């Protein structure tokens, strides 16, 4: 069963790496957004996080969308997380929080007021 899950994850990741237009349409559909393909740029971002025990925590797909019209990309980006669920798993809600927290830490920044802010990605579980 684990090998089947790994294959499914790899197939899904391959499909989402095929076209930026497909990614924009997917994110619009899954997250009820209205991005225009010619106005944004989408990148797939890191999905692996090292835990304190040095084990790797792996999420499925993380995306960053940039507004092409804005020259200061870092201030005008949005992060998304899509997790694929193939079986009933009552631990998913905890893992989603942990994935979001890890991505938030990775993207944390300090404002002019020297307060560190974490920004959780918008998250969905695809069944």
Query: Above 80 in pLDDT, residue 58?
Result: yes
Cα 24 to Cα 59: distance, rounded to the nearest angstrom: 20
User: Alpha carbon 72 to chain centroid distance?
Assistant: 21
Percent of the residues in the chain that have a pLDDT greater than 70, as a whole number: 82
Percent of the residues in the chain that have a pLDDT greater than 90, as a whole number: 21
Contact 26, 62 (CB under 8 A): no
Q: Tens digit of pLDDT for each residue in 67-112? A: 887 766 555 578 999 988 877 788 888 999 999 999 998 888 877 7
Q: What pTM was estimated for this model as a whole?
A: 0.79
Within 13 Å, how many C-alpha atoms sit on residue 2's CB side?
0
Q: Tens digit of pLDDT for each residue in 5-42? A: 556 667 766 766 668 888 898 899 989 999 998 889 88
Cα 44 to Cα 81: distance, rounded to the nearest angstrom: 10
Cα 52 to Cα 104: distance, rounded to the nearest angstrom: 16
Gap between the terminal Cα atoms of the chain: 17
Extents of the domains making up the chain: 2-126
């Amino acid at each position: 069963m684990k090998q089947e899950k790994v294959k499914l994850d790899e197939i899904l990741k391959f499909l989402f790496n095929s076209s930026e237009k497909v990614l924009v349409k997917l994110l619009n559909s899954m997250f009820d957004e209205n991005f225009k393909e010619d106005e944004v740029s989408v990148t797939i971002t890191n999905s692996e996080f090292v835990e304190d025990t040095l084990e790797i925590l792996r999420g499925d797909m993380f995306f960053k969308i940039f507004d092409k019209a804005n020259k200061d990309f870092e201030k005008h980006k949005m992060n998304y997380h899509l997790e694929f669920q193939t079986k009933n798993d009552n631990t998913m809600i905890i893992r989603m929080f942990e994935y979001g927290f890890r991505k938030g830490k990775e993207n944390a920044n300090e404002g002019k007021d020297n307060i560190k802010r974490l920004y959780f990605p918008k998250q969905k579980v695809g069944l």
